[in-house]
Amino acid sequence: MDSAIESSADLPVVDTRMSCGHVEKLCFEADLLGALGQAVVATDVYGRIVYWNSAAETLFGWSSSDTVGKNVVEFFDTALLERNPEVLKRIRAGKPWTGEVTVRRHDGQFLATILANRPVFDGKKKLCGVVGVFTDVSNLKWMQEVMEEAVKAVTELNEKLRVVESLTRHDIRNKLSAINGRVYLLKKQLVNNPDFVGQVKEIESASSQILRILEFEQVYVQVGSEELTEVDVGKYVDEAVTLFSSLKRVEAINSCHGLRVIADSLLRQLFYNLIDNTLKYGEKVSQIRIYFEETKNHLKLIYEDNGVGIPEEMKELLFTEGYGRGTGYGLYLIKRICEAYGWSIQETGKRGLGAKFVMTAQKKGKKDKLNNRIVSSNE
C-alpha cells in the first residue's frame, strides 16, 4: 500500500494491461486479510487501487466503486513520505512496513490508524503489488491523551499534597514538642498532687500517640513507592536492632545473614516494628530470634520472641487497621509491607510461650528470578 507518494506525477505510467493473474492474486491475499474484519486496501506496483473491502468503505467513507482503478494518493494524506522518505523505498523494494498513519476520510475528518503493508509477489517472485491493513486507533489515541493529562494532573496534585503533608507534619511535631515541654514543667510542679499528675500523664500519652501516628503516616506513604530489588535480610535485621538505644537486656539472634529476598528499604521498618512490639508488650522477654525455613516451593521468614505471647481472642483482628493496645497501626503497617512484597503473614505463637510471626513467600525457579518474590540463600 503505497500511501507515501507525494503526487501522482511521481508515478510511472500505468500499464493498463496489467496481468489479470496479478490482480487476482492481490485480491485473494486481500480477501484473506479482510476476513479478519479490518479495513484492507490493495494496490498494484504503481499505487493503483485494485481492492477496497467493505470495512474500508465504512472506515474511510469512500465506496469501492469510487476508489478501484484510481491512484491511492487521491484518497490518503501523503505527509507520511515527508516524515519518513525511507518508507516508500522499503515498500518498492518488496519489504513489509508497519507504522502509524493519519488518514483523511471522505468527510474531511482525520483518523489515526496503524497501517501494516505487506508485499505480494507473483510466481516468479517479482513484486506485483502491496496489501495494506488499516486499524483505527483514534479512540486509543484519544484515551492515551486523556490518560496522559490525568497522570499529569495526579502528579501535580501528589506533589502539592507531598509539600503540604511535609509542612503539616513538621508544624505538628513542633507544636507537640512545645506541649511536651509544658507537660514536663507541670509534672515537676505538681509532683505532690497525684490527681493532677495523672491527668498530665494522660496528656503526655496522647502526645506520644500523635507522634507515633505521624511516624506511621510517614512510612505508610512509602509502601509500594520503591522499586523492589534483591536485599540482604540479615543486614536489615541488624540495622533495625541498632535503631534501639537499648534492648532492655533482650538478646537478638539474627540467623538471616546471606538470605536475599526481593524487597526494599521498608524491610528494615518491618523488623523495627516487630521488635518495638516485643519490647512494649512482651513483658518478660529475654530473647528475640529471626530465622528462616525452606521447603521446595516456599520460604518462611520467622520472627519470634519468648515473651507472654498474644491472646487467642486478639489474633483474628491482629493486623486490622486501628486495632491493638497502642495506635493500632504497627502490625497493620507490617501487613501492608508484606503485601507489597507478595508475602503472607500469620501470628502462630502460643500464649505464655511468646509471639511468632511467620512471613511466607512462594519460591520460583532460577529462570524466573527477575519475578521472584523471595530468593533463598541456597539457590
In SS3 terms, the chain reads as CCCCCCCHHHCCCCCCCCCHHHHHHHHHHHHHHHCCCCEEEEEECCCEEEEECHHHHHHHCCCHHHHCCCEHHHCCCCHHHHHCCHHHHHHHCCCCEEEEEEEECCCCCEEEEEEEEEEEECCCCCEEEEEEEEEECHHHHHHHHHHHHHHHHHHHHHHHHHHHHHHHHHHHHHHHHHHHHHHHHHHHHCCCCHHHHHHHHHHHHHHHHHHHHHHHHHHHCCCCCCCCEEEEHHHHHHHHHHCCCCCCCCEEEECCCCCEEEECCHHHHHHHHHHHHHHHHCCCCCEEEEEEEECCCEEEEEEEECCCCCCHHHHCCCCCCCCCCCCCCHHHHHHHHHHHHCCEEEECCECCCECEEEEEEECCCHHHHHHCCEECCCC
Checking if the pLDDT of 305 tops 90, the result is yes
Q: What is the pTM of this model?
A: 0.50
**Treating both helix axes as pointing N-terminal to C-terminal, what angle do 266-281 and 233-242 enclose, rounded to 10 degrees?**
50
Residue finishing a domain among 173, 192, 221: 221
pLDDT band at 218 (very low <50, low <70, confident <90, very high): low
Contact 125, 143 (CB under 8 A): no
pLDDT at 256: 94
Residue 66 has pLDDT above 80, yes or no: yes
Residue 20: inside a domain = yes
Q: 124 and 33, same structural domain? A: yes
pLDDT given at position 102: 78
Domain end (from 85, 102, 136): 136
Q: Please choose, from the candidates 54, 21, 61, the residue with its C-alpha nearest in 3D space to the C-alpha of residue 40.
A: 54
Can you give the pLDDT at residue 9?
Answer: 41
Examine the domain organization and report whether 144 and 27 are in the same domain: no
Residue 3 falls inside a structural domain: no
Cα–chain-centroid distance for residue 190?
56
In a domain, 2, yes or no: no
Residues 18 and 79 placed together within one structural domain of the fold: yes
- Residue 145 or 263, more confident: 263
Q: How confident is the model at residue 355 (pLDDT cuts 50, 70, 90)?
A: very high
What's residue 292's pLDDT?
A: 94
Same domain for 211 and 252? no
pLDDT at 179 over 90: no
What is the domain-level CATH number for residue 343? 3.30.565.10
Query: What is the per-residue pLDDT for 119?
Result: 84
What is the model's pLDDT at position 154? 78
The arithmetic mean of pLDDT across residues 14-43, rounded, is 63
Out of 61-70, 80-89, 273-282, pick the least confident: 80-89
> Are 291 and 272 found together in one domain?
yes
Q: Within this chain, do residues 123 and 257 fall inside the same structural domain, yes or no?
A: no
Question: pLDDT: is 135 or 368 the higher one?
Answer: 135
* Same structural domain, 362 and 244: yes
Report the number of distinct structural domains present in the chain. Answer: 3
- The string of pLDDT tens digits covering residues 200-215 is 777 877 777 777 666 6
Domain span including residue 80:
8-136
Average pLDDT of every residue of the chain = 77
Q: How far apart are CA 38 and CA 319, in angstroms?
A: 53
pLDDT band at 42 (very low <50, low <70, confident <90, very high): confident
The residue with greater pLDDT, 11 or 76, is 76
Is residue 192 located within the same domain as residue 308?
Answer: no
Sorting pLDDT into bands at 50, 70 and 90, what band is 364?
Answer: low
Give the rounded distance of the alpha carbon of 110 from its chain centre: 33
Residues 181, 242 within the same domain: no
